[in-house]
Structure 1
């Protein structure tokens, strides 16, 4: 059994050539896993966002436990901070690629080297944004001349991280779903253009 997230059982009793093409009806199209690919969080559909949030959360949880990472590197409310989201998402992709079975044997060493750099960046962003083990606040934004000052920033206690994460993801997915519905509602069926 593997401690790695996404670890699969193997089918040692079936020849490799047969595994790629078997399904319930005998032989059909090849079963090929989707290769790792960069995630642009700004462009995900509601359905894709939900899947990506859950997968990244599972991997981040594995990462923090495996490497004993403190909240100063990965805080409980990492998902509330885009700077942490983008860094962790990129690190996850890098890990997936480094541990791909077709990858060069030294790729995991490259990932660990880059992981050390990423931990330093994560520490800097956690310190700058102010999120901690038991409370969170939005990342402070510098107001440029001519911009309206932002609302006051207050700390919010973190009481049940898992429940708060689920609530956050549900709100994100709902907002994306509403944006998709609005887009398709405004789409002209004849021309395919937004009216």
Structure 2
């Protein structure tokens, strides 16, 4: 993100310091990165860099919208507010705490976020592997 913000001079209204704590920003930025990898691949056609810059212009407008909706700012952050629907939500859904907090220790927060994501993905992968092995064992035992 530092490369993107420094190269293009992006303000916090496009990429705020706590971007990593907002899934809507993560998805948009992830798609933009994947698009960049495709367009700047050594085997890409010569006009792909222009296509990326065209799409980047549109993505910046969407990012501005996401930042406005999320409520994250240069100096403060809060989880994106989610409107509860009348009639109730899913059983396991809980409304997020949308208390604003000052942005402090951004780098430490980002590193903690990445560590949390890696641990969660490893746990999910381990659970999937365990389920597959259990199913295979049950199939063998049932023969």
TM range (shorter): 0.7 to 0.9
Shift of 1:139: 0.7
* Residues 1:185 and 1:93: Cα distance change in structure 2 (over 3 Å): closer
Shift of 1:191: 4.2
Residues 1:124 and 2:71 are matched in the alignment: no
CA distance in 1, matches of 2:114, 2:61: 27
| Aligned residue among 137, 141, 157 for 2:82 | 141
CA distance in 1, matches of 2:123, 2:103: 28
CA distance in 1, matches of 2:118, 2:138: 28
- 1:147-158 counterparts in 2 under 5 A? 147=88, 150-158=95-103
SS of the residue corresponding to residue 190 of structure 1 reads helix
Tell me the equivalent position of 1:179: 124
Tell me the equivalent position of 1:18: none
| Aligned residue among 54, 57, 62 for 2:3 | 62
Say what the alpha-carbon RMSD is for the aligned residues: 1.8
Q: Please, which runs of 5 or more residues in structure 2 have no aligned partner? A: none
CA distance in 2, matches of 1:178, 1:99: 34
CA distance in 1, matches of 2:5, 2:36: 14
Q: Please, which runs of 5 or more residues in structure 1 have no aligned partner? A: 1-59
CA distance in 2, matches of 1:63, 1:122: 13
Tell me the equivalent position of 1:7: none
Shift of 1:94: 1.0
* Residues 1:182 and 1:157: Cα distance change in structure 2 (over 3 Å): same
Shift of 1:169: 0.8
Q: Which has the higher contact order (CA 8 A, sep 6+)?
A: 2
SS of the residue corresponding to residue 137 of structure 2 reads coil
Number of residue pairs the alignment of both structures matches: 133
Shift of 1:151: 4.7
* Residues 1:151 and 1:161: Cα distance change in structure 2 (over 3 Å): closer
